[in-house]
Amino acid sequence: MYTYLEYFVEYVLFVELRSSALIHAHISSFALYALHMCLCGRRTKSKAKIDAVWGWASAPLRLAANRMGDPLLPGSTGLGSGAAATATAAGSGTTGSGLGGGGGSGGAERPPSPARLTHTSEKHPKVTLTELNMLRRHRELCDVVLNVGGRKIFAHRVILSACSSYFCAMFTGELEESRQTEVTIRDIDENAMELLIDFCYTAHIIVEESNVQTLLPAACLLQLVEIQDICCEFLKRQLDPTNCLGIRAFADTHSCRELLRIADKFTQHNFQEVMESEEFLLLPVGQLVDIICSDELNVRSEEQVFNAVMSWLKYNVAERRQHLAQVLQHVRLPLLSPKFLVGTVGSDLLVRSDEACRDLVDEAKNYLLLPQERPLMQGPRTRPRKPTRRGEVLFAVGGWCSGDAIASVERFDPQTNDWKMVAPMSKRRCGVGVAVLNDLLYAVGGHDGQSYLNSIERYDPQTNQWSCDVAPTTSCRTSVGVAVLDGFLYAVGGQDGVQCLNHVERYDPKENKWSKVAPMTTRRLGVAVAVLSGHLYAIGGSDGQCPLNTVERYDPRQNKWVAVNPMSTRRKHLGCAVFNNYIYAVGGRDDCMELSSAERYNPLTNTWSPIVAMTSRRSGVGLAVVNGQLYAVGGFDGSAYLKTIEVYDPETNQWRLCGCMNYRRLGGGVGVMRAPQTENYMWCDNSFRHQNNQKLVELHN
């Protein structure tokens, strides 16, 4: 007797599937194969009949499977072509048995070919999040309600658990909340909670001055590390002498170590301005001591530290005089001038009224009056402060952003890891050449979005102003290479809107005049230039037809260009800089794609050797050495303009990301200068800061 399953299979094989076109509508070849295996595996008295059934049905099934390109049915070629299917059908015999009964001649069957199509949807995550958020907005399929400050927020446990370790522990553990449909969350701002839940569903959030002080604690509680980081980054950008102490305390409270370190450095470096702020006068005694005991406190003399301490003390004498000795012991009185020590410190009534303070003054007097005894009196109070001197800063100039050339300029200080806007150029410039000559920053040529430029602007960091009184180049140039050699500013190659150039000219700042020198042997646009050992190198670029890997070197004494060994990779719009007596060439674009690879040139051996690739592909990248570190700035990765920067460590041969500019920049110039002696806080454009406070911070951008 047949079982019901056997009757069903016989019906499908004989009645429903005589036309192979019906296979699509009823059951897949894989399922039939599985059922056949099941039947053949059963011990039944009707096995012969079942084999006969299968042998009769296998030919049309294989024919249909081959038409479908299905390799799963026994005997199918998986080719999906009519010819292959016909061949299979013709070779099938009505007397075959079992799974191998498809070949009339008894020959071996061809192995199935792997017909498959792999697809990964880039839209799927965004679409899925959007649909989940719509379900939440309509309160559909929500399985938890968060009660925060009287506000009810509907959500899905699985989404919250996937985004937050806090919620994951709450809903998957043995806590009472894991069984509740309504959960009360305390000690968190309801507006901040709503923003964070929105982020879980949308991957977008707005961080601004009005919410950062509630967002950061909430993100810390919910263990949303990504939001913690973006809040800290936002606060770093807001640092100034009037708020750095408050941000420092805020970072300390919420264990934001990197923000605390940056705020500390900022406070120490700008102590002369910070001590004038109201925040300084409101400091708790412990934080005041932490600040003034630092060796890196940036002051002209120890007198400033004493005056700052006394200003703090006198702001609330009644409560603070008990702390005078505790604070004064961190003022390095032995480093004061004798006149100030005796006339100002020793005569102060508050100091004279405290025995411990008088002892500190006497110690300082002995140090000053007994120079022969000083080796025996060394200690923390006799150690001179060694503030970190302002070193070099990096300027990012112009470029291409959001579909247009830009005039904006920003400055990066590695000591604070901070980008600040400075005065913009008078013209928008993309493909601009940038170099520093006599402590002034030059922006040469470029394209303003409509026309090619031969004009030049010059920036003075002391005044934060650009001037346009520099003589123009003899021809318009964009994608031009610019460098300084022997007191002259060189403009190399580029394009003028008509052709790719091999022209080279140099600027004499004393005469405010450009003059031509020997042309290169090859036309080059998007060329990188570098100066090493008294020679000017022109590296890569494009001849107007294809990217180049060739390199040539200019000798100003002979006014002649000669070829040196080429790079291993063709590169146009690359970044180039001299670092540790090597010429580094990074990124750019070859014949088909943007590059992340990098290599360096050894002039002693006339050879190029590869180094580790950058973390991102970057064409139109800026490369510069700042305070002994190599930075790659901005560019284009093939799909988006970049505002990220990364720094190279030659000892470990590694690149690491180290922050972002305010603007995305492709084809911008970079220049390095000594930082001004006095920080001018008017540099940071107030209108930009206000705009920055309101901007949308888009994570996963």
Helix (H) or strand (E) holding 268: helix 257-269
Within the chain, how many helices (H) and strands (E) appear?
Answer: 23, 29
Mean pLDDT across 639-663: 92
State in Å, rounded, how far the first CA of the chain is from the last one: 66
Percent of the chain with pLDDT over 70: 79
Between 616 and 74, the more confident residue is 616
Cα dihedral sign for 294, 299, 301, 307? negative
Q: Which range has the worst mean pLDDT, 23-27, 250-254, 304-308, 476-480?
A: 23-27
Q: How far, in Å, are 106, 254, 272, 297, 345 from residue 266 at the CA level?
A: 86, 19, 11, 10, 28
The Cβ of residue 644 has, within 10 Å, a number of other Cβ atoms equal to: 18
Q: What gap in Å lies between CA 307 and CA 139, rounded to an integer?
A: 62
- Token pair, residue 216, equals 């950061």
Q: What is the pLDDT of residue 339?
A: 92
Q: What gap in Å lies between CA 13 and CA 5, rounded to an integer?
A: 12
Q: How confident is the model at residue 112 (pLDDT cuts 50, 70, 90)?
A: low
Residue 373 clears pLDDT 90, i.e. is over it: no
Instruction: Using alpha carbons, select from 532, 593, 583, 535 the residue that is nearest to residue 559.
Output: 535
C-alpha torsion angle, residues 147, 148, 149, 150 (rounded to 10):
-30
Q: Phi/psi of residue 392, each to 5°?
A: -100, 150
The residues, ordered by sequence, that sit 6+ positions from 628 with a Cβ below 8 Å of its Cβ are: none
Helix axes 4-11, 29-41, angle to 10 degrees: 140
- CATH fold, domain 264-388, is 1.25.40
Q: Which residue has the tokens 């699509």?
A: 24
How far is C-alpha 238 from the geometric centre of its chain's CA atoms? 19
Q: What gap in Å lies between CA 645 and CA 630, rounded to an integer?
A: 10
Between 651 and 481, the more confident residue is 481
Rg of the Cα atoms in the chain: 37
Q: What is the pLDDT of residue 173?
A: 87
The Cβ of residue 166 has, within 10 Å, a number of other Cβ atoms equal to: 16
The residues, ordered by sequence, that sit 6+ positions from 439 with a Cβ below 8 Å of its Cβ are: 461, 673, 674
Q: What gap in Å lies between CA 80 and CA 67, rounded to an integer?
A: 4
Assigned superfamily of 392-677:
Kelch-type beta propeller (2.120.10.80)
CB of 526 closer than 8 Å to CB of 541: yes
- Which amino acid appears at position 543 of this protein? D
Q: What gap in Å lies between CA 659 and CA 237, rounded to an integer?
A: 11
Burial of 368 (0-12, 13-18, 19+ CB in 10 A): middle
Q: What is the pLDDT of residues 157-171, one digit of tens each?
A: 999 999 999 999 999
The DSSP symbol for 593 reads S
The residues, ordered by sequence, that sit 6+ positions from 286 with a Cβ below 8 Å of its Cβ are: none
The residues, ordered by sequence, that sit 6+ positions from 310 with a Cβ below 8 Å of its Cβ are: 348, 350
Q: What gap in Å lies between CA 461 and CA 467, rounded to an integer?
A: 12
* Residues in the chain, total: 701
How far is C-alpha 374 from the geometric centre of its chain's CA atoms? 51
Strand pairing report for 575-579 and 560-564:
unpaired
CB of 237 closer than 8 Å to CB of 247: no
Helices (H), 337-428: 338-340, 349-352, 355-369
Strand pairing report for 669-674 and 440-444:
unpaired
The Cβ of residue 370 has, within 10 Å, a number of other Cβ atoms equal to: 11
Q: What gap in Å lies between CA 60 and CA 254, rounded to an integer?
A: 72
Q: What is the pLDDT of residue 488?
A: 96
- DSSP for 56-71 reads HHHHHHHHHHHHHT-T
The Cβ of residue 206 has, within 10 Å, a number of other Cβ atoms equal to: 15
Instruction: Using alpha carbons, select from 218, 700, 674, 60 the residue that is nearest to residue 414.
Output: 674
Residue 358 clears pLDDT 60, i.e. is over it: yes
Mean pLDDT across 62-91: 43
The three-point CA angle 570-574-577 to 5° equals: 115
Residue 119 clears pLDDT 50, i.e. is over it: yes
Helix (H) or strand (E) holding 636: strand 629-636
The Cβ of residue 172 has, within 10 Å, a number of other Cβ atoms equal to: 11
The DSSP symbol for 195 reads H
Q: What is the pLDDT of residues 177-228, one digit of tens each?
A: 888 889 999 989 999 999 999 999 999 999 999 999 999 999 999 999 999 9
Q: What is the pLDDT of residues 587-638, one digit of tens each?
A: 999 999 999 999 999 999 999 999 999 999 999 999 999 988 999 999 999 9
Domain edges within the chain: 4-90, 264-388, 392-677
Helix (H) or strand (E) holding 686: helix 686-694
Instruction: Using alpha carbons, select from 606, 572, 565, 605 the residue that is nearest to residue 586.
Output: 572
- Token pair, residue 421, equals 């806007």
The residues, ordered by sequence, that sit 6+ positions from 585 with a Cβ below 8 Å of its Cβ are: 528, 539, 540, 567, 571, 574, 575, 576, 598, 599, 600, 601, 608
The three-point CA angle 137-143-147 to 5° equals: 75
Q: Give 40-47 contacts, CB < 8 A, sequence gap 24+.
A: 40/98, 40/99, 44/6, 46/2, 46/6
Q: What is the pLDDT of residue 287?
A: 92
Highest mean pLDDT among 39-53, 140-154, 573-587: 573-587
Q: What is the pLDDT of residue 240?
A: 87
Q: Which residue has the tokens 């679409």?
A: 127
Q: How far, in Å, are 83, 458, 688 from residue 397 at the CA level?
A: 64, 12, 16
Q: How confident is the model at residue 485 (pLDDT cuts 50, 70, 90)?
A: very high
The DSSP symbol for 377 reads G
Mean pLDDT across 453-470: 94
- Token pair, residue 701, equals 């951008």
- Token pair, residue 664, equals 């995305």
Cα dihedral sign for 573, 578, 583, 585? negative
Q: Left, alpha or beta for 519 (phi > 0: left; psi -120 to 50: alpha)?
A: beta
Q: What gap in Å lies between CA 381 and CA 389, rounded to an integer?
A: 21
CB of 212 closer than 8 Å to CB of 230: no
The residues, ordered by sequence, that sit 6+ positions from 442 with a Cβ below 8 Å of its Cβ are: 434, 435, 436, 456, 457, 458, 459, 470, 482, 489, 507, 671
Secondary structure of residue 78 in the 3-state scheme: coil
The residues, ordered by sequence, that sit 6+ positions from 511 with a Cβ below 8 Å of its Cβ are: none
Percent of the chain with pLDDT over 90: 64
- What is the pTM (predicted TM-score) of this model? 0.50
Q: What gap in Å lies between CA 274 and CA 268, rounded to an integer?
A: 9
Q: What is the pLDDT of residues 242-299, one digit of tens each?
A: 899 999 999 999 989 989 999 998 898 889 899 999 999 999 999 999 999 998 888 8
- Token pair, residue 337, equals 């001038």
Q: What is the pLDDT of residue 289?
A: 94
